[in-house]
Amino acid sequence: MHAPVRKLSLVVVGAVLGALIAASPALAGNAGFAPVTPDSPNAHTITDAYWFITGFALFVLVGVEGLLVTFIVRYRRRNRARDAEGPQIHGSTRLENMWTLIPVVILVAVAAFVFVKLPGIKNVPSANAAAGRLEVTVSGQQFSWQFTYPNGAVAIDHLRVPLGEPVHLTVTAPNWDVIHSWWIPALGGKIDAIPGRLNHTWFTARKLGTFSGRCAELCGVQHAAMLMTVEVLPRDQFEQWEARRAQQQTSGTARDTLGEEEWTGSCGKCHGLAGQGLYGPRIAGSGTLQDETALTKLLRNGLERPGRPAMPPVGREWSQDQLDALGAYLKERFGSQS
């Protein structure tokens, strides 16, 4: 390389590196320059992999863009003749080998990092004495998430879990539904909820609080409304909640809790939170809401309307407890209107 080029490229590379270092506090504050601050070991390891790749990526980026700018500045025409020929160099085997080999080394490093870290990201930790393991079935449906706990407790869109305990999620979607994708950024990567398939993922929340996420696979008109939250509770509070929800379901008093969740998650997203009609028609004041048989039939079968969007059979797989909870909620909420 010619001496002036070497000097100039050093200046350019130095300037870019300097700018990056100056910007690093902003990057550390993570304004979208890295995955959402992880609060679970698997998400944490993914973020490590992200930074590992970023190191190499920045190196290549600065190198390539630096050379590009340097060459453009250094070798621009200025007052040379437009057709003055440059040196007639046709290639160099040594250089070809070099820039084949260096990327190979970088990519091998990245792949090795991924394979070494993979078990810590993918494998569901086994239950241990200190903290058991919570098993939850997650079912994605147009346009809500249903969570089923080992004791039969059901929740919609709002998953409650205990702090510091591994949570194993079995993610699926009903056979009559479409593909969805489970993703809480702070608690790990995505896993698709695919009809006819059981997928697995896990997280161990390390912080109390609420984490939010969205369905990540286009699933129809209300895809954007398919939001979900994970609430991390202290262990005793979680156990109380889980027992109470299961007990309310069986005793038929779940109308204010599960019933409301079902209304908000399964009905409200298409018919409006007040039943005023949104994408689906207005249902407030409809007799079906008070008619147990008609309601069950509708929830189990959905509704085909020729030429218009169909209502999915949101309650086809609901237990009698779930149907009762919604029925009781609707009676209480809309009973006086009709």
Partner 1 sequence: MVARAETVAIPQWQRGKLASWLVTVDHKRIGILYIATAGFFFLAGGIMAELIRTQLMRPDQTIVTRGDYNQLVTIHGTTMIFLVVVPVLTGLANFLVPLMIGAPDMAFPRLNALSYWLYLLAGVVLMLSFWAKGGAACAGWTSYPPLSTQCPGHGQDLWILSLHILGISSLIGAINFIVTIHNMRAPGMTWMRIPLFVWSIEVFAWLLVLVIPTIAAGVTMLLLDRQAGTHFFAPSHQGPILYQHAFWFFGHPEVYIMILPAMGIISEILPVFARKPIFGYKAIALSTVAIGFFSMLVWAHHMFTVGLPNYLNGFFMLSSMVIAVPTGMKIFNWLATLWRGNISLDTPMLYALGFLSVFTIGGLSGIYLAAFPVDWQVHDTYFVVAHFHYVLFGGSIFGILGGLFYWWPKIFGRFLDDRLGKWSFWFVFVGFNVTFFPQHMLGLMGMVRRIYTYQEHGLWEGYNMTSTIGSYVMSFGLLLFAVAVVKSLNGIRAGNDPWRADTLEWYTTSPPPAHNFDSVPYVTSARPLNDLRRALQEKRAL
Comparison of 16 and 323: residue with beta carbon closer to partner 1 = 16
Q: Does residue 15 belong to the site contacting partner 1 (CB under 8 A)? A: no
From the list 100-108, 153-161, 245-253, 291-299, the region that binds partner 1 by CB under 8 A is 100-108
Comparison of 45 and 249: residue with beta carbon closer to partner 1 = 45
- Residue 325: closest CA among 205, 155, 174: 155
Amino acid of residue 225: A
Give the tokens for residue 164.
């510091």
Q: Residues 201-236, buried b or exposed e (16+ Cβ, 10 A)?
A: bbbbbbeeeebebebbbebbebbebbbbebbbbeee
Which neighbouring-strand residues pair with 172? 139
Binding test (CB under 8 A) with partner 1, winner from 191, 258, 289, 330: 191
Give the nearest distance from C-beta 16 to partner 1 in angstroms: 13
Binding test (CB under 8 A) with partner 1, winner from 181, 204, 249, 257: 181
197-216 binders of partner 1 (CB under 8 A): 197, 199-200, 212-216
Q: Does residue 313 belong to the site contacting partner 1 (CB under 8 A)? A: no
Give the nearest distance from C-beta 237 to partner 1 in angstroms: 27
- Residue 61: closest CA among 96, 93, 91, 106: 106
From the list 132-140, 217-225, 281-289, 293-301, the region that binds partner 1 by CB under 8 A is 217-225
Helix (H, G, I), strand (E, B) or coil at 305: strand
274-303 binders of partner 1 (CB under 8 A): 279
- Residue 58: closest CA among 9, 16, 103: 16
Give the nearest distance from C-beta 151 to partner 1 in angstroms: 26
CA distance 296 to 260: 17
Tell the residue number behind the tokens 């909420």, with chain if given. 333
34-63 binders of partner 1 (CB under 8 A): 34-36, 43, 45-46, 49-50, 53, 56-57, 60-61
Q: Does residue 325 belong to the site contacting partner 1 (CB under 8 A)? A: no
CA distance 210 to 158: 10
104-163 binders of partner 1 (CB under 8 A): 104, 107, 110-111, 114-115, 117-118, 121-122
Binding test (CB under 8 A) with partner 1, winner from 166, 185, 280, 313: 185
Give the nearest distance from C-beta 336 to partner 1 in angstroms: 31
Q: Does residue 27 belong to the site contacting partner 1 (CB under 8 A)? A: no
218-257 binders of partner 1 (CB under 8 A): 218-224
Give the tokens for residue 36.
């959402």
CA distance 102 to 93: 14
Give the nearest distance from C-beta 186 to partner 1 in angstroms: 9
Compute the chain's Rg from CA coordinates: 28
Q: Does residue 68 belong to the site contacting partner 1 (CB under 8 A)? A: yes
The answer for 220, left when phi > 0, alpha when psi is -120 to 50, beta otherwise, is left
Binding test (CB under 8 A) with partner 1, winner from 3, 86, 287, 336: 86
CB neighbours of 270 closer than 8 A, spacing ≥ 6?
143, 222, 278, 279, 280, 311
